Structure 1
Amino acid sequence: MSAAAGGAPTAPAVGAPRARTRGGGRLRAYASHAAGRLGGAAVSLVAVLVTGFFLFRVVPGDPVRAMTHGMPTSAEQMDTLRRQFGLDQPLWRQFTDYCTGALAGDLGTSYQFRAPVAELIADRLPATLLLTGTAVVLYSALGLWLGTRSAWHRGGPGDRLNTGMALTLWSIPSFWLGLLLITVLSVGAGPLPGLFPTGGMDSGDTAGAARVLDTAHHMVLPVLTLVAVGYAQTLLVMRSSLLDEMGGDYLTTARAKGLRDAAVRRRHAVPNALLPTVTMVFINLGHVAAGSILVETVFSWPGLGGLFYQALSVPDLPLVQGLFLVFAGAMILMNLLADLLYPLLDPRVAR
């Protein structure tokens, strides 16, 4: 009966609308959070375009003179090459041409390889993804597992051993560790014979399954170098984050409900400690595209890191700028994905 008929007013059904309101509020909060992060990523990409152009213009060296080093070249030929590469144009014109081409997907033509930069990057990218992708997966999983165990059993022998080893490896330069592994495990030391190749991706004379095994054999030392240095950072971040969570009242409540220690760690403590480590994992994934310049150079790995070193030594400006844009773009993308994932792990982030 309605209130107009003299009866008691009917109570509104508030359950479903309130639930829809809460869901809509969370959706709007997430949309606002995502829009802000997308805008920040766009601004960062513009900053990368500007920085990538002007940063490498201060690198000492004349690209044309470096390319013609050791060859009899007249001044007229040098001027012709500068016109061909657009180096005779004013700086503002070079900058506008660079930005226009980059936004259209044209990264220019390499000075030293005389090939499109995009093609050179596409040719070298699979080798980098194979090497650094394998290493990132391995050291992220290892660092998360050991960091969790170290924090949960803090102060114990395992914690002291893991933390001490991580701090030691984190402080070692990757190129020095790579050279040490080459000396001991490739060249051989004393009675220990050389077990692994000194560099390269394969021997070049294999095919099929034999080539897969040969590539895996060549990957052992560079992957071991990257894992040894990379897992330490993940372990220390995960350990610190989990230690901050272990004093929470919600863990005491979970134990009071009768949950086993392993279940408390797996279901409650670790998920809440993952946010800083998620950032670390996504940053590491951003490094997958960039590779490791030092490790790839030490092991003569034919990836983007080694290509960047070659380009910088000339300097090959279009190739350096293109690689810098790819490296920075991968980092921006991975940070964006991490920011978009945060509210799904902890809804308080989007508030």
Structure 2
Amino acid sequence: MSGAGTTGTVRDAADGPGRYGPAGGQARTAAPGTRTAYPLYVAGKLGGAAVSLLAVLVTSFFLFRIVPGDPVRAMTHGMPTSPEQMATLRKQFGLDLPLWQQFTEYCARALTGDLGISYQFRAPVGELIAEKLPATLLLTGVAVVIYSALGLWLGTRSAWHSGGLGDRITTGVALILWSVPAFWLGLLLIIFFSVGIGPVPGMFPTGGMESGNSSGFGYVLDVAHHLVLPVVTLVAVGYAQTLLVMRSSLLDEMGSDYLTTARAKGLRDALVRRRHAVPNALLPTVTMVFINLGHVAAGSILVETVFSWPGLGGLFYQALSVPDLPLVQGLFVVFAGAMILMNLLADLLYPLLDPRVGR
């Protein structure tokens, strides 16, 4: 009886959270109230997301009202305009209304998906965003997938061999790249690989998404050629954060008793890492990965501007320089909404990774 009990305890501790959940044990039963706790958890997260979205609508309206510049004057492109014409334009775009009335109309339209008409382009904001969104999704989507995978892999290896030469080199390079401004790194890459000052001039184009003289598979290669430098810029700056978070989380797990027991049973080191340590270190990294996915819609304003990439980041820069209030507000709502959605998905995923969450 005593030996059987001891064996069962060791097995539960070794299998631990990585395989059967944080409490260990193969015959796990749901705690009382678990079935009702998760729906309440989901409802709370959905309510928090709705409040956050409302806060975004309020912020996007009032924040950009303090941006210097006269949007009506910008609409005329600086051409001589009579006071009567200026008043007509203000009335046409509702800028003559009291601020509170502008706000209520803006919220009512935004909740129905109407983000207004761009002052600069004289087109619906939703159409402008839909036109530029694919380019941003391509650029930042490729970059986020690469640097999330790279950060997870290097962070795991760095933590598992902490203190070694590889760990010191990997962490040092990550800290250096994390501190480098993205636009500055992008300019350096253009100098060295595009304009002819560096050792390999003309290897990549200086900007844009395509050359405009190819089709079919040649077009795909052309776009991929233009993608290289901006993707390298985003990956170099972005992977460090995922690496450092994963490394820190895994280091916290490495002293746990269940890992010691798993090693005592004779399990291979790679198996202990893959099946027990890494799954329990994933929660903070999952948050980071989903935040990075939220950045996919927002793009990178500075990188897209440096490389003249025709995406939402460059469009936001154009709108802010006018200022084009409906376009700026619409883009801000889309960017923030993407982040809120990704954080919500991460919160809903937590109970699947760790059953203790949501109880």
Q: TM-score range by the shorter chain?
A: over 0.9
| Equivalent residue for 1:46, pick from 54, 67, 84 | 54
| Equivalent residue for 2:33, pick from 15, 25, 28 | 25
Runs of 4+ residues over 4 Å off in structure 1: none
**Matched residue type, 1:227:** V
- When residues 20 and 153 of structure 1 are mapped into structure 2, their CA distance, relative to the original with a 3 A threshold, is closer
Which residue of structure 1 aligns with residue 220 of structure 2?
212
- What is the CA-CA distance between 1:193 and the residue it aligns to? 2.0
Does 2:202 align with 1:194?
A: yes
Distance 1:115 1:78 in 2: 20
Does 2:185 align with 1:163?
A: no
- What is the CA-CA distance between 1:157 and the residue it aligns to? 0.9
Distance 2:94 2:79 in 1: 21
- What is the CA-CA distance between 1:25 and the residue it aligns to? 3.2
TM-score normalised over the length of structure 2: 0.91
Deviation per CA, 1:211-265: give whole Å up to 9, x if none.
Answer: 0000000000000000000001100000010000000000001111111000000
Give SS of 2:121's match. coil
- What is the CA-CA distance between 1:23 and the residue it aligns to? 7.1
Which residue of structure 1 aligns with residue 328 of structure 2?
320
- When residues 80 and 143 of structure 1 are mapped into structure 2, their CA distance, relative to the original with a 3 A threshold, is same
Distance 2:276 2:28 in 1: 28
Q: Which moved more, 1:200-209 or 1:67-76?
A: 67-76
- What is the CA-CA distance between 1:33 and the residue it aligns to? 1.0
**Matched residue type, 2:41:** H
- When residues 331 and 190 of structure 1 are mapped into structure 2, their CA distance, relative to the original with a 3 A threshold, is closer
Which residue of structure 2 aligns with residue 243 of structure 1?
251
Does 2:320 align with 1:295?
A: no
Deviation per CA, 1:286-339: give whole Å up to 9, x if none.
Answer: 000000000000000000010000000011000001000000000000000000
Distance 1:27 1:259 in 2: 35
- What is the CA-CA distance between 1:340 and the residue it aligns to? 0.3
Residues 209 and 223 in structure 2, CA contact (< 8 A), matched pair in contact too? yes
Does 2:130 align with 1:122?
A: yes
Distance 2:141 2:309 in 1: 14
| Equivalent residue for 2:315, pick from 301, 307, 323 | 307
**Matched residue type, 2:348:** L
- When residues 188 and 20 of structure 1 are mapped into structure 2, their CA distance, relative to the original with a 3 A threshold, is closer
Does 2:145 align with 1:137?
A: yes
Residues 34-73 of structure 1 aligned to structure 2 (within 5 Å)? 34-73=42-81
**Matched residue type, 2:324:** D
- What is the CA-CA distance between 1:21 and the residue it aligns to? 8.3
Residues 301 and 317 in structure 2, CA contact (< 8 A), matched pair in contact too? yes
Give SS of 1:348's match. coil
- What is the CA-CA distance between 1:26 and the residue it aligns to? 2.5
- What is the CA-CA distance between 1:114 and the residue it aligns to? 0.2
Which residue of structure 2 aligns with residue 276 of structure 1?
284
Distance 1:247 1:88 in 2: 65
Deviation per CA, 1:100-146: give whole Å up to 9, x if none.
Answer: 10011110000000000000000000000000000000000000000
Alignment root-mean-square deviation, CA: 1.4
Structure 1: stretches of 5+ with no match in the other structure = 1-18
Deviation per CA, 1:266-304: give whole Å up to 9, x if none.
Answer: 000000000000000000000000000000000000000
- When residues 196 and 80 of structure 1 are mapped into structure 2, their CA distance, relative to the original with a 3 A threshold, is same
Distance 2:185 2:108 in 1: 42
- What is the CA-CA distance between 1:167 and the residue it aligns to? 0.2
- What is the CA-CA distance between 1:150 and the residue it aligns to? 0.4
- What is the CA-CA distance between 1:162 and the residue it aligns to? 0.3
Q: Number of residue pairs matched?
A: 333
Distance 2:198 2:129 in 1: 41
Distance 1:136 1:165 in 2: 19
Larger Rg: 1
- What is the CA-CA distance between 1:76 and the residue it aligns to? 1.2
Does 2:224 align with 1:231?
A: no
Distance 2:199 2:348 in 1: 54
- What is the CA-CA distance between 1:24 and the residue it aligns to? 7.2
Distance 2:221 2:35 in 1: 49
Give SS of 2:356's match. helix
Q: Which moved more, 1:188-197 or 1:102-111?
A: 188-197
Residues 192 and 199 in structure 2, CA contact (< 8 A), matched pair in contact too? no
